[in-house]
Structure 1
Amino acid sequence: MKRNNQIPFLLLLVGLTATFTAQAQPPVGPRPGGPGPMALAGPRPPQTPGIVALTNLSGTIQQFTANDESILDGFTLNTGSKTVAVRFPAHLGQAIQAAGKPGSKLTVTGVSELTPEGVEVFRLVSLTNGQTVVNDAPPAAPAVLPTPKSISVKGKVIDYQLDPQGQATGLKMSDQTLVRVPPHIASQLLTIAPKGSTISVDGYVRPIGEGQVQLTKQTVVEASTITVNGQSYLVR
């Protein structure tokens, strides 16, 4: 009888030992030198771009280039071994033109980069012709804000202007006026007013910004209303 009474006590002792052993096990975590199970499931930390070394290019200006509103924002540079597309902010246009013209020799400091369309360009940081230095500084605030100038134009649609992604952002009229409209409006106009349609536009002239140069005279209009076949449409 005395021996049988020891059996429950031994079973209790074994159970308590197993419980303490399980609680003493260390939790599963990241292994040394590598991510743990949860680290693989979580988002990766954002990649921080490093500093970029500046490069100097010397050569001759071949020709000035402009954006789709004819505003000067670049030039092609012949280095003797290749032709490089140099780009700069439009507000530097007047200073760049004062420092050089097609045929002028100069040195450009900047970085090579790819545009969203995959085109390699050389982004200007500074430029010198040996006497004048032009730096990429922020544009100066205008002393007086320009007063919006209202305008009404009428003519035929000769083409639609597309951005690099292929979205329509405006339309060209027979008198070379460029009418700016939001992309969602332009996509509707493609159906309502296809090429060859006669339209009327009421809006405001977009002024040329401080320091900018327009290489080809062109009126750019921010449309407020557009009339097609007697039906007027609000542009927003």
Structure 2
Amino acid sequence: MKRTNQFLLLLALLAGLFTVQAQPPLGPGPGVPGPVAFAGIRSPQAQGMLSLTTLTGTIQQFTANDESILDGFTFNTGSKSIAVSFPPHLGQAIQTAGKAGKSITVTGSSDITPEGESVFRLVSLTNGQTVVTDTPPAAPAVLPTPTSVTVKGKVIDYQRDRQGQVSGLRLSDQTLVRVPPHVITQLLTIAPNGSTISVDGFLHPIGEGQVQLKKQTVVEASLITVNGQSFLVR
């Protein structure tokens, strides 16, 4: 009888052990972040918290990117001149609110560009009752229809971006021809400076809210012809 009781007790203990092992691991349910979620490595896109600075001064001169699209200005605070940058879609609003030579207030953060230059990235601009704030551009209600063009001319220079990398070429009529980065090496070989070429492609549109400081045509190349030989750009 004693052995029977011991055997039954052993079976009960084993049953309890298997029952515990069958339980799901303790921790937060689906969709609930556990401690690791807060202590883990942040994604490369995470920028953290930026310290903002507010400055008062005057706009000296508007500046533009490689396509002559307004994206900044030089700013005189009275004690120094700094470069202020902002997203191109704010161009119209910035140009309307902040005229050159007029006193305004800007709020933003200091940064260093990949080229090692110091820049003040604008978060907001205030001129009296007018405030322009850096907000994402609105999605267009209707996507623009690409406009196909053919341009011809002599290559007078190769366009370089702010990192010094070749991003396209400029023709004698100042048309800027854009090509993908992976075809630059081929382009330098088949169309050196002085070459006369023909380019089929599409006009690069000016986006909503953008301002082109200097009138120029920008073409995204799809076909380049040099000395009767055509090259498809992919």
Q: What band does the TM-score fall into relative to the shorter chain?
A: 0.7 to 0.9
| Match runs of 1:171-182 below 5 Å | 171-182=169-180
Q: Distance in 1 between matches of 2:229 and 2:75?
A: 49
| Alignment partner, residue 153 of structure 2 | 155
Does the Cα contact within 8 Å between 1:168 and 1:187 map onto a contact in 2?
Answer: no
| Alignment partner, residue 72 of structure 1 | 70
Matched residue type, 1:106: I
| Alignment partner, residue 113 of structure 2 | 115
Q: Write the deviation string for residues 46-73 of structure 1: whole angstroms up to 9, x where unpaired.
A: 5786422110011000000000000000
Q: Distance in 2 between matches of 1:99 and 1:159?
A: 36
Q: Distance in 2 between matches of 1:207 and 1:50?
A: 34
Q: Distance in 1 between matches of 2:201 and 2:79?
A: 48
Does the Cα contact within 8 Å between 2:55 and 2:107 map onto a contact in 1?
Answer: yes
| Alignment partner, residue 37 of structure 2 | none
Q: Distance in 2 between matches of 1:169 and 1:68?
A: 9
Q: Distance in 2 between matches of 1:181 and 1:71?
A: 18
| Alignment partner, residue 129 of structure 1 | 127
Q: Classify the secondary structure of the residue corresponding to 1:97.
A: helix
Moved over 4 A (4+): 45-50
Structure 2 unaligned blocks of 5 or more: 1-39
Q: Distance in 2 between matches of 1:132 and 1:220?
A: 33
Matched residue type, 1:222: E
Q: Percent identity?
A: 76
Q: CA RMSD in A?
A: 1.4
Q: Classify the secondary structure of the residue corresponding to 2:216.
A: coil
| Match runs of 1:30-49 below 5 Å | 46=41
TM-score by length of 1: 0.78
Does the Cα contact within 8 Å between 2:114 and 2:163 map onto a contact in 1?
Answer: no
Query: Higher Cα Rg: structure 1 or 2?
Result: 1
| Match runs of 1:196-235 below 5 Å | 196-235=194-233
Q: Distance in 2 between matches of 1:53 and 1:185?
A: 41
Matched residue type, 1:178: L
| Alignment partner, residue 146 of structure 1 | 144
Matched residue type, 2:207: G
Q: Write the deviation string for residues 182-228 of structure 1: whole angstroms up to 9, x where unpaired.
A: 12212211111110100000000011000000000011100000000
| Alignment partner, residue 25 of structure 1 | none
Displacement of 1:116: 1.0
Structure 1 unaligned blocks of 5 or more: 1-44
Aligned pair count? 192
| Alignment partner, residue 26 of structure 1 | none
Q: Classify the secondary structure of the residue corresponding to 1:125.
A: strand
Q: Distance in 2 between matches of 1:201 and 1:50?
A: 44
TM-score by length of 2: 0.79
Does the Cα contact within 8 Å between 1:72 and 1:214 map onto a contact in 2?
Answer: yes
Q: Write the deviation string for residues 105-157 of structure 1: whole angstroms up to 9, x where unpaired.
A: 10000000011111110000001011200000110112221110000000000
Q: Classify the secondary structure of the residue corresponding to 2:187.
A: helix
